[in-house]
Amino acid sequence: LKSQLSPHFLFNSLNTISSLVHSNPKKSELFIRKLANMYQFTLNSYHSTLISLEEELNFVASYQYLLETRFENKLKVEIQVSEELYQTQIPPLTLQMLIENAVKHNTMDLNNPLHVAVYVEGNYICVKNNITEIPKNKTSFHIGLKNINTRYLLLAKKGISITNGTIFLVKIPIIR
């Protein structure tokens, strides 16, 4: 999972910083700090098989800020996870990759924004998004989803669940 942090993400982040530097210096400074937090987390968790859900959610908060700054009103990410689950375990970058997939595989505009929700349902953490138009020239080999599933089969002895219809929903088992 860690090796799949998209190189395009860094490129797009640098372009966003470039556009913010002159128009909104304070926002560009915060953006740079959030980006640095993300890469520090990636380096620190590189050898970890599992981390706490709280650590992953803190990482995702930085990622969410970067995405929402870049896409403005075209993207809304909503996370509703009870603090009671913060000490459960998750493979690093799992939620980030699922959110990244939603962004990668959907076009967004003001008339057709992308909505991503992270919530708990039973013994699963769910990541759900509406489906918009598929971007042109995007091919998916579902490697990210396959890697997440493989890790869950190894670590939790349960695979992930994927629903692809009017919405795209991935359910990942909660590891206690």
pLDDT for residue 7 is more than 90: no
Looking at 1-10, 27-36, 136-145, 165-174, which range is the least confident one? 1-10
* Residue 133 CB-density burial (10 A; 0-12 exposed, 13-18 middle, 19+ buried): exposed
Query: SS in 3 state form for 29-56?
Result: HHHHHHHHHHHHHHHHCCCCCCEEHHHH
Comparing 14 with 110, the larger pLDDT belongs to: 110
**39, two tokens:** 């890469």
Q: 14, 72 in Cβ contact below 8 A?
A: no
Whats the size of the chain, residue-wise? Answer: 176
Taking only the tens place, the pLDDT of each residue in 16-42 is 888 888 898 899 999 999 898 888 888
